[in-house]
Amino acid sequence: MALSEADTRAKLIDPAIYSRGWTEDHISREETLGAIEIVNGTARRRSRGRVDYTLRLRVNSESQPVAVALIEAKAEHLPPMHGLEQAKNYATAGRRLHVPFVFSSNGHLFVEYDALFGVTASPRPLAEFPTPDELRERYEQGKGFSLSDEAAKPLLAKYRLGEAGRRYYQDAAIRAVLEKIAACQKADKPQRALLSLATGSGKTFIAVELLRRIADAGQLRRALFVCDRDELRSQGLTALQNAFGADAQAVSGRDAQKNARVLVATYQTLGLTPDEDESTFLKEHYPPDYFSHIVIDECHRSAWGRWSEVLRQNPRAVQVGLTATPRRLADVSGEEQQSEDALVTADNLEYFGDPVYEYDMGQGIEDGYLAACEIVRRDIFQDDKSLSEREVGLDRKDLEGKTLVDSITGEVVGVAEARAHYEATAFEAMLMLPERVDAMCRDLFAALVKTGGPEQKTIVFCARDDHADRVAATINNLYAEWCAQGGRQRLDPYAFKCTASVQGSEMVADLRGMSRSHFIATTVELLTTGVDVPSVRNIVFFKYVSSPIAFYQMVGRGTRIHAPTGKLMFRVYDYTNATRLFGQDFVTKIAAVRNDPGVEPEPREGERTIVVQGFDVRVTEAGRYVVTQVDGRAMPITLEDYKAGLAARLVAEVPTLDQFREVWVNPPDRQGVLAKMPDAGRSALIVQTLQDMAAYDLYDVLADLAYGAAPRTRVQRADAFNYKHAEWLDSLPIGAAETLRALTRQFGLSGTDGLEQPAVFNTPDVVKAGGLAALRALGQPKEILRETKRRVFAA
């Protein structure tokens, strides 16, 4: 009988690579977080994903091992190349594990892919597997430096607190930067590196570890961490002081902190604002080449305005850019006016080169580090005219018969004073539509009530400041009405405007920290980037957006997982078809675009801003989608397609319902199968949530989805167990039978996971029945519990 995948690793691959010099000191088994499951209202992580082998080079016993290769093991009966494509997705340069050599093996033969040259070799016997010295020689030749070089010292500096605190992709990103710096230093080239990682993936951790390892290698003279907001400066300073203590300080207009080794500054503090003629503070306090290392946070946003001066003034410094949305500026000759993205950023790819490492939102969701995302798209109709992306805007003739007034004076105006055409981007800016605001707010509020209640942390992106005011007021009125109708206590403030005009930083703190107030934040730009509010469950687009960079930054406000509140997913409510921007390249064109979506239209000289009343506005559902990995990118797919993909993957792993039941009752087998599902096992929980199946165990969610079995709630299964298996229970000692009945009642409350927790034997009901001692009288409690689960799921 052929060996399984696990036996192939243990009995064939392990001995073979050990004989070639790869000891446990060289091997790491990288894991991802995998699924987040909710048990009794508490979030916990399970079903960790794993890469079979990561091979690492260790220069000496005191150095940090450097990952260079990956082995994907497959069962003995499969061809050696069977796992190669999967392994390449895990490993190739700039992605996932970031190693240059990828191997796939069935325990007898192995196949190699060399990512440095893009070459796949023919199968060879495992006895010929490369030794550590052989791979080191090839690695050094391909990278352009030796691990013995002075330039490579930071690469060999250890994690001060060990490797347990870092994630696999963070280690890969750090290695990618340090490799690029070492190669540039050896080649006498500018030492620049760009990292592209999704919001919420820990870019600050990476920046701190980079500087600390460079410092431990004796190569850090003075460092500057630059960001564009006080919020980011505070976050960065806290993290850097944890690593450098008092040697890390924040620059202020009163103190240049020249005694500190690591400085944290906003570009405003450095005097690098666009309205300044000269970067006075920077030039006054920090002479050229003052800094040996510069880290630019959110470099898509501001690095190419006036404050690029800090880079030009320190040309010999190591310069590292961090962003979730790296941009390339496409040159369109003959055009002068820039589009929205060009106004926000220019070509950071031209300056830094392509990212040395990328980790996007879809990968973060799949690995279990970022919250899953459901998209709810809405269509809006005004007087039966669709204002969806298929047909946007209003003509002057559409305003006939409506009441038009000047938004400032309240004076009634004629239709002739309106523009000939208003594009959708002018809505709530040049053309205010009260019925539209009211309809959208009512639809959103109803959706919140339906999906867990209105008191959810939510960010609503609005067109402009007064639009944010009107949305906040409308939603507050709806909330007050809802509370009054149900006799509920109002939690105030409920909806509030959070913009730069109303002390936004204080409002952000309330949004983040207050659990019983500040639920709905209406904003324009303030919450677009750099604001960390992990508990946000909903991102809402009342604003038209065409910029992929702005869109991803906005969506990124919801991607963080928040275990204290059980948040493992968030929703995007899309009223303006903004989610069409998922998967679009971050390429900026210089183009003369009038009313570019996402840019607040400028009024013409003497032009009125008009309030239009009298529209009949309706909002209807346009579809539900789940964001997942499609061809290496985060893309929305329909819920039905998502469910079909999950079902197909499950049936491929476990072909029949009977086999699935056997897998489910054995925790290690169950966790192994769930780890192979889309989104690292969380897909079952996503479907459970989106299908309103909270009363069902995940077994029934999946059995219904993949095998067509009629689902039963947990309580129904517990009740059925008592009468369908009464004969079996009566054959047991009274104490054991009563204990099993009590345990199945616990299953009715909390499902499979609750039943498998050791603490279940300490619940009063189970203790009173006889508890663990009663089961031990029958033999092995684990086996008895497994048989009980079989009967519960067969009932």
Distance CA 653, CA 610 (A): 60
Which stretches within 424-490 are classed as H helix? 434-450, 465-486
Q: What is the mean pLDDT of residues 168-192?
A: 94
Percentage of the chain beyond pLDDT 90 is 46
Distance CA 718, CA 267 (A): 62
**What confidence score (pLDDT) does residue 261 get?**
96
**What confidence score (pLDDT) does residue 371 get?**
86
Q: What is the mean pLDDT of residues 134-141?
A: 96
- Burial track 750-760 (b if 16+ CB lie within 10 A, e otherwise): bbbbbbbeeeb
Q: Is residue 330 within a helix (H) or strand (E), and if so which, with residue range?
A: strand 328-330
**What confidence score (pLDDT) does residue 260 get?**
95
Q: Is residue 43 within a helix (H) or strand (E), and if so which, with residue range?
A: strand 42-45
360-401 pLDDT tens trace: 888 888 788 888 888 999 999 888 777 664 457 899 999 999
Compute and round to an integer the Cα radius of gyration of the chain.
30
User: Quick check: 56 pLDDT over 90?
Assistant: yes
CB atoms within 10 A of CB 60: 7
CB atoms within 10 A of CB 617: 19
Return phi, psi of residue 374, to 5°. Answer: -105, 140
8 A C-beta contact, residue 747 and residue 763: no
**What confidence score (pLDDT) does residue 44 get?**
46
Show the 3-state SS of 575-639: CCCHHHHCCCCCEEECCCCCCCCCCCCCCCCCCCCEEEECCCEEEEEEEEEEEEEECCEEEEEEH
Least confident of 103-117, 187-201, 534-548, 674-688: 674-688
Output 136 or 330, whichever has higher pLDDT.
Answer: 136
Q: How far is CA 511 from CA 458, 575, 666, in A?
A: 9, 23, 43
Mean pLDDT of the chain: 85
762-785 pLDDT tens trace: 889 888 888 888 888 887 888 888
Least confident of 25-39, 137-151, 412-426, 746-760: 25-39
Distance CA 538, CA 572 (A): 6
Q: What is the mean pLDDT of residues 66-85?
A: 89
**What confidence score (pLDDT) does residue 275 get?**
57
277-319 pLDDT tens trace: 555 788 889 999 999 999 988 776 544 455 578 888 999 999 9
Q: What is the mean pLDDT of residues 242-263?
A: 92
8 A C-beta contact, residue 636 and residue 627: yes
Percentage of the chain beyond pLDDT 70 is 86
**What confidence score (pLDDT) does residue 175 get?**
97
321-361 pLDDT tens trace: 998 876 555 544 444 444 443 433 455 677 788 899 999 88
**What confidence score (pLDDT) does residue 240 get?**
94
Judged by phi (left if over 0) then psi (alpha if -120 to 50, else beta), residue 573 lies in beta
Q: Tell me if residue 326 falls in helix, strand or coil.
A: coil
Q: What is the mean pLDDT of residues 466-486?
A: 96
**What confidence score (pLDDT) does residue 153 get?**
96
Q: Which amino acid is at 637?
A: I
8 A C-beta contact, residue 89 and residue 59: no
Q: What is the mean pLDDT of residues 111-131?
A: 94
Q: What is the mean pLDDT of residues 544-573?
A: 86
694-738 pLDDT tens trace: 899 999 999 999 999 999 999 999 999 989 999 999 999 999 899
Residue 150 confidence class, pLDDT cut points 50, 70, 90: very high
Output 175 or 269, whichever has higher pLDDT.
Answer: 175
Q: What is the mean pLDDT of residues 671-684?
A: 76
**What confidence score (pLDDT) does residue 154 get?**
97
| Bond prior to 733 in cis (omega within 30° of 0) | no
449-468 pLDDT tens trace: 998 899 999 999 999 989 99
Which of 152, 119, 114 shows the shortest CA–CA distance to 134? 114
**What confidence score (pLDDT) does residue 278 get?**
56
**What confidence score (pLDDT) does residue 594 get?**
37
Q: How far is CA 715 from CA 657, 702, 724, 748, in A?
A: 21, 17, 14, 4
Distance CA 302, CA 525 (A): 14
Q: What is the mean pLDDT of residues 469-475?
A: 96
User: Quick check: 599 pLDDT over 50?
Assistant: no
Return phi, psi of residue 592, to 5°. Answer: -80, 95
Q: What is the mean pLDDT of residues 476-482?
A: 97
Output 211 or 26, whichever has higher pLDDT.
Answer: 211
Residues 6+ apart with CB under 8 A from 308: none
Tokens (6 digits) for 229: 């907001």
Distance CA 445, CA 456 (A): 10
Output 744 or 547, whichever has higher pLDDT.
Answer: 744
494-549 pLDDT tens trace: 999 987 666 555 777 788 888 888 999 999 876 655 567 888 999 999 999 888 88
Q: Which amino acid is at 475?
A: I
